[in-house]
Amino acid sequence: MYGLTVRWSLVDAGAGVDDELREYVHGTSLERFTGLPGLRFKTWRTRPGEWFEGTYVFATAEARDAFAADFATKAAGSPGSAIIGSAPVLQETFDVVAVAEGADGFAAGPGPVSGAADPG
């Protein structure tokens, strides 16, 4: 499997950007990437007030590299960049060594609606 990380800094982003990003992912981006050919999965990660990133895992290096090349040409104008107010600070490819599915199974779909810690 072949990965791609795209990260934005939130250090200079406006107030409320974390909630706006979460709403965008839950309301639009999640559906856009569900079922995307060549993509195994995508994870959106954030450290509120610090950074926001998309981590993609593709079935082939070719699918990853084609997506990465295309995204690099339009990253500054992407919805994430528009919400944050700046282009990504990092776009990096990597190899996935392995993925383990835990006893609770793999769950697709939105995460918490706020930055609250998971009680479980």
Q: Which two tokens stand for residue 73?
A: 């040409």
Instruction: Dump pLDDT digits (tens) for 20-51.
Output: 999 999 999 999 999 999 999 999 999 999 99
Please report where in the chains the tokens 């190899």 appear, as a residue: 95
Please report where in the chains the tokens 């990260």 appear, as a residue: 7
SS3 46: strand
CATH topology of domain 2-95: Alpha-Beta Plaits (3.30.70)
Instruction: Dump pLDDT digits (tens) for 50-70.
Output: 999 999 999 999 999 999 999
What is the dihedral angle through the alpha carbons of 76, 77, 81, 87, rounded to the nearest 10 degrees?
10
